Structure formats: C-alpha cells, structure tokens
Amino acid sequence: MRKHLSIITAALALAASLFTTGCTGPNSQISTALVQQGVFTFASYAVAKNPTIKPYLAAATPVICSAATGTNGLSPEAVVAAIEASPIASQLKTPEAMLALNGVMMLYIGIWDSYGTSVNLTTMQPYLLATCNGLTAALPANPVSSKASKKINWPLVR
C-alpha cells in the first residue's frame, strides 16, 4: 500500500512541478479548479485504496479549511503546523495517512513555491480554499461502502 501511495505522491508532485514551473506572479497557469480536482482525485483514490486513512484526512480537512478562511496561516508551513497541533489529527496519524495528506498538499505547495519571494496571501487564499474544497468533496459525510468504492471507474490510465 505504501508503495502505491508513494508512486501516486511522486506523480502528483511531478504534475505540480510541471504545471507550476515558470509560473510566477499573477500569470500563474494553474487554476483553482485544477487544484480542487487534483486534490479530490488524489484523496478519493487514496481513501479507496486504504480506507484506514480517511479519519486522519477527515480530521485534517477542517484545519485546512480554517486556514483557508484566515489570513495568517496560508503558508504550507503554517498549515502543516496547525494540523500537527490538532489533538484529533495527531491521535489518528499513521505513516500512510501522513503520506496521503502530503500528496494532497503537494499541488498547493508547488503553487506557493512558484510565487517565490513575491507570494501574495490574497492570491494564495483561493488555492488553499480549493484544496479544502477538494478534500471536502472527497470525504463525503455519508461514506460509500467499501464495495462500491472499489467499483469506481477512474478516468485515468490504468
């Protein structure tokens, strides 16, 4: 399982770097819709492959969403620190769940890094909100049974 998530995380990191390389300032070529869809796809797939990570992602989601609606905690470091400070998330943390959450955050981190020293917090807020929305959509309140989640027809190369 860890090997599959590692490969997925590496692929997502590569995709993030390809989408954000050379994209600095207000001319960024990646949209918030793409971030939301990427986060949704990665989180959905990770939970379908390893349902035990869902509680950790579910505990981290409100922390990410809270950071997205604030103004001081938008840096990837601040978001990670807030998740690590969350008592619920820390109780549910496993190596696989941490790997999945790192994969989820990879697009946001890539976009943050693409702005370099000219990062603008008001520009970054929609991207963290897209991360929040993607996670929220991937972790529905009424979970699908594990049988049904195995039948998802992923629109990706298999």
Does this model's pTM top 0.85? My answer is no
Helices 95-114, 54-69: crossing angle, 10 deg rounding = 30
- For the beta carbon of residue 90, count every other beta carbon within 10 angstroms: 12
Q: With cut-offs at 50, 70 and 90, classify the pLDDT of residue 148.
A: very low
Q: What is the pLDDT of residues 117-146, one digit of tens each?
A: 788 888 899 999 999 999 999 997 645 444
> Cα-flanking dihedrals φ and ψ of residue 50, to 5°?
-145, 85
Rounded to 5, what percent of the chain is helix, strand, coil? 75, 0, 25
Q: What is the pLDDT of residues 2-45, one digit of tens each?
A: 555 555 555 555 455 545 444 444 555 689 999 999 999 999 99
Provide DSSP, 2-54: HHHHHHHHHHHHHHHHHHHTT--GGG----HHHHHHHHHHHHHHHHHH-GGGH
Given this model, what pLDDT does residue 30 score? Answer: 85
22 Cβ neighbours under 8 A, 6+ residues apart? none
What does the block give as tokens for 88? 């619920």
Given this model, what pLDDT does residue 23 score? Answer: 47
